[in-house]
Structure 1
């Protein structure tokens, strides 16, 4: 996969398009950022944009965020890397001084190592390698000590050796090395089919035809002493430059053949063509030398202990200009990089001598005549003419060193505000003197006489000044920390201040003034540590009257009370910056809040409006830029990398449209229109895949990771290629179809997925910039986790089959049990009918015959026989009902309905009682449990019997209905009725109640004398079982 670096942020200008002697700021990379070692030996950028770094203790690949490191234990042939190249097929080759070579694919997978091995014929000789050159598709040309040139067959690994004369060609090479004293320093491609090859001794520097290996002559016509040599050469235009172990730079005109020598301040270690007009020379101990080829001028860039953005060391060992115009400088003590896009403002250090660049409190920046800037700090005054240098002006009054905070011009005078009060300042000689004060004090002092001759307080900290008029006289309005707001009549020397007075309604609520502004209506706004206050200078009385704007006062209130910055736009709104409250806008009627984007915090420390309507808000470590038309934010990180992010101070727009501010101990100036909008973040890629603390990255097959069902926690790590990011990137990872939303990684770009579900799903990664821009989703891997046995398809099939078999067996068992029960019920019913029924019938018939045969003389005998007959008849009828109830063929509701109709006919209709029998809701289709059928039938029979025997009813209504699993029975007659309270257990009522209880329900009985009787019961069939 190919990854392309993304440029974002400010515009990019030529790396060395700076004036002679100008500073080139660098950022530093060391072992703290993951380098294998601080001693850099080689720098190389591959075709995908990754930076490969050789050190004395390993090989590194850097993407701007993530450092991947290889040591000998990771497969390197050796750890002191001397050269890195990429061949035509994309393979990366890294040579170690002692040990051989290693090759990698473009993704960084180690392919092969080439080491000396006596057991392998034609393996590379045991030599100290110095350089590499990709000669053609099949041959890697290797420079070394003792055996100067080696031809490595990239496919077979076989080596041949140059014999020291004749063409430099693999086919003419020897199978065994010829040991000597010479060695090869460099192999440089001149770009015209020729190579320049430099040797230590005998062979000097040769021009060689690349294709045939023919030696064309000397690269330099020099007679160097034996202790000197050229160790590197580079072509720029038609000149070949060479430098080495002498304080000279040798220049060969490739057309005329003329040689010249330029004096150098130190030995040359490496050369780089910055462009067609500039040569960069690394030196042994004097830093980086820039040479203007058009004029021959030289300029040294060196390490400075007091400058964190200087070179990290003066011992330069490697140089690289990457494809985006960034300069990388390898040294003996770390790696430095200059990225023009990171340095979008011109920087001018504040301070002098040892104090240069040291941070002091900056209060404000003012612009006076002809674009001259004044910077007011706790250390004094700095002046900078439009195109001139920055000059430091200490302001002293006797033994007192003033701390100026601002200046305002009133007529021909400049009034200087300071931490110590109000002064007169002469811009010609920078002389200062106290402004004469005739009277001073609070505006609410009882008498002017009390203030006459009084001096203002010794600590009278001015925070903003405006010239104005009051009653036709000039007036100076000042914000004063600790004294609210103050006015000065400069002619009379009358100074008054307006402070908080708890007893005065409408006075300012807080005296700690942070900022002062005057709006388009001439009204003043005072930002304090507790609230924003509006004040009118022209108010008659009382003068100490303010309008307060505070937080937590309802809709449209100020977001926070600690006001840190104010900006009143001409013919526009008032902008309010707050600590932990973000930004707010007052449009004349209400306050509107604009919270800052999360990476910027939510505090505003200064503001400047550019010419296209963007509001630059000074925030922690950046400018949060609000497009006032669309209300959208963009973050612009402060340039460079000085450790802890600084906060811009004293932000203001200049007359020419530039914006000035202070940060990191410097004055910063930039053109906001040249700061580009942020580009889309780079695409993420996979850097690591760990399962239970063991890497499984190598187990990816076609991008798919196959895991067993017992696989546990999976750690996924990603990064993105952006060699010098303008701001930190964040990443999200998502298990597609598993996670409801993408999850942010930790700061290292990793996430641990603690519980991986079985199945096949993609891992999607996204990059998120500080501005909230999100890259497209990238599939970094596919996880295919095997399901446990109980989740396999065949397991469910087998489980289904087993469940079916169990259900079938249970069904068959239940069927057989029911069949046995039915046979038992049939036998019981038959036995009761045949045995008990026939015996009761015989008793009944016998009692009747005995009665008929008797002579009727014995009345007691007749009564006894009648009772025996009635009892046996009644028992026979009851037995008939029981036999009917337990007979399986009567389980259906249809049998119940027929039985009830038959009873109604026998007991009611046969006696002339009109019967209304209604069946509703499919009762006939019901299958009724035996017990329910028996008890319900007996309740019904008792109710009908009562209606027949006692009620003297003319009509009876019988309702039998079914709905919602409930079977309801109601028997209602129009008979004589009775008082239920007087007969709680008579007429079989107790028996019916007990039967209802057996069925889990309640018998409802309604009756009154002369009103008939209603008996009702309702059964929940879902709860009833046999």
Structure 2
């Protein structure tokens, strides 16, 4: 909470005895106000206070000032008027040719239809439904999003229609005031009346200078003039003339006051700002003055304002803004010159206040405005405590004196008792008028006798309950209850209860008992304890400390009123504790008024008044006002910052990107009574912490490193004074996830992942199937190769072996018949050679070392040359010199080789050729093997092919299996061309 400088203003009333001082709070730029030179106040529907200054606009929410200057968008630092247009929407009128709106804490420019803006001093909403602009440039009506000039067409009106400073409306008439310091037609400061119905203008005809206008609660128009405060005659106004008259009661005291500004509060009291200070005239005619000589800060008061809680504020042109902190608390330095009050006494049934000056041996009786001074006779002690009741006493050191008031303003003392210990503890009267004093013993003066009972240690104060039982607690933490019982010899003290070991350790210093039987104990360092009893049986206790609102934890004196209000005096202030809603509300009387002085003792007087002895004087605490204020403050999110960027506090859910996850909230409560006694706590829904924060006076909440998600910040304001119930508010916001954590990305990623998984599964299955197919194909190839090998062996070797077997059997038969068998032996030899050659071909086709194209071409060339040479045919074989060493399968080699072999076999057998040319080429880039076999034989006629001859068909099939083609050309022999892709 902002630190405040307190100024004590001497509140002067016609009084012959002593000066009373009101407590003031002052707010300056040290507290956050934008500028010390202030002009006027405005309070919106939610309770925020707007202060116009010469350096900008300040908005006070009860916790902090939020400031707007030209750096925030104002066209000029001087703001002339503020108009509330809707919820959290305001028109801000600068002293410039411009117009602004303040929406959700952000300044924006208002654009009119014609971009025309007069220099407006005031905007007034009149009963005809229009907004009127009171401006330096004249009177304007706002309609159709433009400012339309009023009072045109009349030459006199045109001359007078400028430099308007202020206006008020009454009875369909607009009372206008020219600026008294700029000069206007027809004289220095003219008063004009504009009729909203007839649109006619009336101009004052006298030479008075007019300064300010105000409308009274009785609907009269008061105006400050150079002669004093006057009222405008309504009857004369109806007749078309402006006539002023002197004020009637109760405000007649203002007739001769020269005020520059005045104001009516809700109680119809008239406040006037003059060069000599501020004067208040209430409806009873009582006059109160606030001026520099009595402590009001210097400077002229240009604005007076009563807020919704009835606090009164002053706008000072030199010292910021000033609030009357408490109208019920008055501070008195000393009642009269050379008199220093060392002690005071009063009681709830009297309006008399007794003050004792031990050094001067004087007692002063104050009753209302009347004082009576008593001088002491004889040798008197230099200090002590006075007790004024049915009998009067003075206690000093270890002596008890009877106090006797004598005629002629004198008093004397008579010694009643001398004790072995100092009687410095605070005493009191019981319900029978007996004087109770505590030291290290319980002492009771009754019937001319001193009754005594020893205590375990030193005690500082005693308390009396409704049953007239006496309670005391020693510094050793021993709580004892005494009763006074009659005996044959008079009376005696008896212990009714003793609580030695059941209390918390609390270093007691004072005690009081309320009407509900609760025992209050003030301590040295541990605050205040409230002990709950059922009769004399201790049930429980409640502990209150500075964290609960006490001015400090050292309580040196307690006083309880009949209404159960407990007053706690501390070395740093005065606290008032009242039962509220099952708990206790603590009102820090002095600290909230920035008064940090020691309070020694407080006693109740009649009519709810309390008198307190303080350092350097005494205080009067009046009874709180009877009228109840229906105002309920608002708990506001005044500012929200995302990083360093201001966020508009709209009702929409705030949505922030993931990298803007640090948010600062400034909250405030629009209550200006005891602002320091408001405690704030918060709960962030959506986080892992489900507990409310510890209440504190910090109204700023900083949230950092928030994870993406949906949140609701709930805040609570608690009023330690109990003036209002707890307030709560909520602010929802969303931290958006990064794009890689969004639902659409996750959906797309999941879809892509599923697709990839499906593709992987498909690839795996296809690969597995491919492997299985390859294995199957390999198996099939092996089976095929086996079948082919078996077929070849059956076809090529089986036939030869059969022939050999047949020839062998033939030889055996011919040998038995003694026939020649050389021919069969030659056949066996020939077939054996053929079988060996075919076996070599089969082995060559199966050998992996021959799986290259060069091996195929070399083997084929060798075979062709050798075979044709054996047949007596010349052979020419051409193969590429740089034939590639590419891989060719055994099937490829075998089919190509057998096709060439078949072709050569046909040439040898049928062509009758003498020469054969074989040409082998490889084409690029299609990599095709082309083998051309040309002979010079008799040619080939396909029509002469014998039925069931399979040679040519086998050649076509072998080349077709390799994806190639076979052509046979008959030109001067036969040309066979086979083309096979590698």
Please say whether Structure 1 and Structure 2 have the same fold, judged by a TM-score greater than 0.5: yes
Among residues 697, 702, 706, which one is paired with 1:752 in the alignment? 702
**How far does residue 323 in structure 1 lie from its aligned partner after superposition?**
4.7
Q: In 1, Cα distance between the equivalents of 2:712 and 2:386?
A: 61
Q: Deviations 1:638-685 (Å, cap 9, x if unpaired)?
A: 278431566765445557776655568544355589597x99973322
Question: 2:352 is matched with which residue: 343, 362, 372?
Answer: 372
Partner of 2:135: 143
The structural deviation recorded for 1:749 is 1.8
Alpha carbons 1:727, 1:769 under 8 Å: kept: no
1:423 to 374, 392, 401: 401
1: CA distance, partners of 2:468 / 2:93: 74
Q: Is contact 1:662–1:668 with CA below 8 Å preserved after alignment? A: no
Paired residue for 2:677, among 728, 731, 755? 728
Structure whose CA Rg is larger: 2
Q: 1:478 aligns with which of 430, 433, 437?
A: 437
1:435 aligns with 2:433: no
- The answer as to 2:286 corresponding to 1:286 is no
Deviations 1:871-923 (A, max 9, x none): xxxxxxxxxxxxxxxxxxxxxxxxxxxxxxxxxxxxxxxxxxxxxxxxxxxxx
Q: What is the Cα deviation at residue 35 of structure 1?
A: 1.7
Counterpart in 1 of 2:202?
217
The correspondence for 2:653, drawn from 690, 704, 713, is 704
Q: How many residues align?
A: 722
Mapped to 2, the partners of 1:389 and 1:294 lie a distance apart of 18
Q: Are the structure 2 counterparts of residues 647 and 139 from structure 1 closer, same or farther at C-alpha, using a change threshold of 3 Å?
A: same
Q: Aligned partners of 1:191, 1:378: CA distance in 2, in Å?
A: 65
Q: Is the 8 A contact 2:587 2:677 kept in 1?
A: no
Counterpart Cα distance in 1 of 2:293 and 2:24:
11
SS at match of 2:462: strand
CA change 1:804–1:378 in 2 (3 A) is farther
Structure 2 distance, partners of 1:94, 1:402, is: 65
Equivalent residue for 1:1010?
Answer: none
Which of residues 641, 649, 668 in structure 2 aligns to 1:690? Answer: 641
1:637 Cα deviation after fit? 4.0
Give RMSD over aligned pairs: 5.1
**1:528 shift after superposition:** 3.0
CA shift in 2, pair 1:639/1:317, >3 Å: same
Residue 109 of structure 2 corresponds to 112
Tell me the distance in 2 between the aligned counterparts of 1:369 and 1:717: 49
Answer yes or no: is 1:557 the counterpart of 2:555. no
| Aligned-partner Cα distance in 2 for 1:684–1:434 | 60
Within 5 Å, give how 1:1005-1016 maps onto structure 2. Answer: none
CA deviations on 1:796-839 (whole Å, 9 max, x unpaired) are 6635864895699699989979x99xx9xxxxxxxxxxxxxxxx
Separation in structure 2 between the aligned mates of residue 475 and residue 91 of structure 1, nearest angstrom: 66
Per-residue deviation, 1:55: 0.9
Structure 2 distance, partners of 1:234, 1:588, is 62
Change (3 A) 1:786 1:645: farther
Shift of 1:74: 0.9
SS in 2 for 1:52: strand
C-alpha change, 1:298 and 1:566, in structure 2 (3 Å) is closer
Structure 1 pair 600/198, CA: closer, same or farther in 2 (3 Å)?
same
8 Å CA contact 1:29, 1:335 repeated in 2: yes
Q: 1:201 to 1:640 in 2, by over 3 A?
A: farther
Q: 1:96 to 1:562 in 2, by over 3 A?
A: same
- Deviation track 1:953-990 (CA, whole Å, cap 9, x = no partner) reads xxxxxxxxxxxxxxxxxxxxxxxxxxxxxxxxxxxxxx
Which 5+ residue runs of structure 1 have no aligned equivalent?
A: 1-15, 443-456, 499-506, 824-1026
- Corresponding residue to 1:351 among 317, 327, 334: 334
CA distance in 2, matches of 1:701, 1:466: 61
* 2:519 corresponds to 1:530: no
Contact 1:719/1:749 (<8 A) preserved: yes
For the 8 Å contact 1:85–1:132, the answer to whether it is kept is: yes
Per-residue deviation at 1:86? 4.2
**1:55–1:361: structure 2 CA closer, same or farther, 3 Å change rule?**
farther
Partner SS state of residue 548, structure 2 = helix
- The alpha-carbon deviation at position 188 of structure 1 amounts to 2.2
Q: Residue 632 of structure 1 aligns with which residue?
A: 583
Contact 1:608-1:615 within 8 A present in 2 as well: yes
Residue equivalent to 2:424: 461
2:261: which partner in 1?
A: 270
Partner of 1:1006: none
Q: Which residue of 2 aligns with 1:186?
A: 166
Give, in whole Å, the separation in 2 of the partners of 1:632 and 1:368: 26
Residue of structure 2 equivalent to 1:715 = 664
SS in 2 for 1:531: coil
Q: How does 1:737-886 map to 2 (within 5 A)?
A: 737-738=686-687, 739-743=689-693, 747-770=697-720, 775=726, 777-787=728-738, 789-790=740-741, 792=743, 794-795=745-746, 798=749, 802=753
Check whether the contact 1:50–1:723 (CA below 8 A) recurs between aligned residues: no
1:945-960 mapped onto 2 (5 Å cutoff) = none
Give runs of aligned pairs for residues 634-713 of structure 1, distance below 5 A: 634-638=585-589, 641-644=592-595, 650-652=601-603, 661=612, 665-671=617-623, 674=626, 682-692=633-643, 694-698=644-648, 703-713=652-662
Task: Assess, with a 3 A threshold, how the Cα gap between structure 1 residues 142 and 675 changes in structure 2: closer, same or farther.
Answer: closer
Q: Is the 1:441–1:497 Cα contact (8 Å) retained in structure 2?
A: no
Deviation at 1:77, TM superposition (A): 1.2
User: 1:818-869: CA deviations, max 9, x gaps?
Assistant: x99xx9xxxxxxxxxxxxxxxxxxxxxxxxxxxxxxxxxxxxxxxxxxxxxx
Judge conservation of contact 1:729–1:769 (CA < 8 Å) in 2: yes
